[in-house]
Structure 1
């Protein structure tokens, strides 16, 4: 049979006149078809084929993604910070906090209504010693203040933030040390720094933040 293959002429793809077709039902059950497939697989590889695969195999292996942690990044003043996504319950519109009488703890801004639920409003700026008024000018991007609702030890807290970047993923073993110029009071709350393009995001220690927020309510 010619290069067309008998299966294309008298077999299932042809006029079905082959004597073997009735007992075998389909050409794939025929030794002629099987032998043709074997010859096709054993044919010498062409120069172009070998050159193409050689080029593919010379490519360096892609670096494996070692990200094992996710956090929500936000801004206070000039500082971009992040808390674990597991700690974040929701992002709500900004709302004014109502001060509590006889509660002057630094960091406790008062109580705020979030979706009909009252919860303590915590000023991370005051707690971390950051100047929230020291905000950088942003070009080509609108910024909107938000309330970040986080949960710790069964208690909800509302954290006013100046801007929200979104979720970032990073390798917990790949965090770098904070800049030497950072104030020590703020530094103790950081696990380290992760980078996104030209941004340096301080990853906050969730346990220290949670413990400190809880202390403010006592």
Structure 2
């Protein structure tokens, strides 16, 4: 067996830095990796014949066509309302604003119509998604390890800007439509019309909202 061809039997493992350090060349090279004997052994190792099975494995791997990365064709803003993580198409979101109080409107009692809110000097209708989507907005998960801030999303509801309060914003996500899984449906609770699907994102199961459905329902509150 040639010690120069098999590194585990090389001199650096006996008298070098991995051995008893008795090699006189250490005084000159300081470390075995700087020694010509180490470099020569590396060259011999690289020149060893390749086993047929190894060659066949890599030939098979390299002849395969490269995998096509699934590019995202949609984007959405990930948000939380109560316990529910949702995503609203980013094309609907006009801006994000600090949470502001809503002032009730007389003779308007719809639970989803909170009133009007002052957003940057503009009075905008304030609408809640929770009752529209059947979400218990009064409950929220226990949050640990991060700061959570409620926000107002300014969204476009068929041409009308509306202020929609959310309990938390996670940010924007790009995804491919093929990534969406079908929402769970039961006999008692059929598939919600307002959901396009469910997206697995950053450890969350996010319900992706149908922008047209949500905009139509928000607009219906303003008539």
Common fold: TM-score over 0.5: yes
- Cα deviation, 1:161-188, whole Å, max 9, x if unaligned, reads 0000000111113211123469848822
Match of 1:100 among 87, 105, 113: 105
Partner of 1:199: 204
Cα pair 1:128 1:186 within 8 Å, conserved: no
Relative to structure 1, the CA distance from residue 185 to residue 152 in structure 2 (aligned partners, 3 Å threshold; closer, same or farther) is: farther
Residue 183 of structure 2 corresponds to residue 154 of structure 1: no
Cα distance, 1:132 vs. partner?
A: 1.1
**Number of aligned residues:** 171
Partner of 1:74: 79
Partner of 1:15: none
Residue 136 of structure 2 corresponds to residue 137 of structure 1: no
Cα distance, 1:47 vs. partner?
A: 5.7
Relative to structure 1, the CA distance from residue 183 to residue 191 in structure 2 (aligned partners, 3 Å threshold; closer, same or farther) is: farther
The runs of 5 or more residues in structure 1 that have no matched partner are 1-45
TM-score (normalised: structure 2): 0.68
Cα distance, 1:100 vs. partner?
A: 0.3
Cα pair 2:150 2:168 within 8 Å, conserved: yes
The 2-side partners of 1:122 and 1:105 are apart by 10
Relative to structure 1, the CA distance from residue 57 to residue 89 in structure 2 (aligned partners, 3 Å threshold; closer, same or farther) is: farther
Residue 132 of structure 2 corresponds to residue 127 of structure 1: yes
TM-score (normalised: structure 1): 0.70
